[in-house]
Amino acid sequence: MLILTLFVSSISYAGHDIFISFEQLPPLSQEFIKKHFGDKKIALSKMERDVFKISYDVILTNGDKLEFNSKGEWMQIECKYSFVPIEIIPVQILNYVQTNYPSAKILEIEKKRTYYEIQLSNKLEIKFNKAFQVIEIDS
């Protein structure tokens, strides 16, 4: 019965967003934001609790969205009115984009367990496996 109660409690608590201050983000996230987005202001930051994971979302006043895992590692960067800083982009992906789409900029990058996905300013979405080989292109 105790296990069932704990399980039900965790499910009812899952999906709750807790608004937090910048200082409550994991230190790795704080360093990342200072280094790559230090000239931007934070509109809000929150911790999202799911049954099996915790993540952090930061929204900047210019509309950029940053998502971090529980350790503070970036998982997704979405730039609405700017571009993903090139220092964040793995060099193999950056080289591929510069070679094949020289006029395009990377607006979004997402890091998953088995792949990376980017969205370009020319509306293409490109998926790379962990060896940085293109595995899918959508328009």
Q: Can you give the pLDDT of all 139 residues of the chain as single tens digits? A: 434 344 444 444 456 899 999 999 999 999 999 999 999 999 999 999 988 899 999 999 999 999 999 999 999 999 988 999 999 999 999 999 999 999 999 999 999 999 999 999 999 999 999 999 999 999 8
Q: Are residues 65 and 125 in the same domain?
A: no
Q: Write down the pLDDT at residue 12.
A: 44
Q: What is the pLDDT of residue 80?
A: 87
Q: Are residues 94 and 133 in the same domain?
A: yes
Q: Are residues 87 and 139 located together in one domain of the fold?
A: yes
Cβ count near 109 (within 10 Å): 21
The reply to whether 72 and 130 lie within a common domain is: no
Same domain? For 66 and 89 the reply is no
Is 85 within 8 Å of 99 (Cβ atoms)?
no
The answer to whether residues 101 and 74 belong to one domain is: no
CB-CB neighbours of 48 under 10 Å: 15
Among 81, 97, 129, the domain boundary falls at 81
Q: What is the pLDDT of residue 50?
A: 87
Which residues, 6 or more positions from 31, have their beta carbon under 8 angstroms from its beta carbon? none
Q: Give the CATH number, domain containing residue 37.
A: 3.40.1420.30
Instruction: Write down the pTM of the prediction.
Output: 0.85
- Say what the pLDDT of residue 15 is: 60
CB atoms within 10 A of CB 137: 11
Looking at residue 109, what is its pLDDT? 98
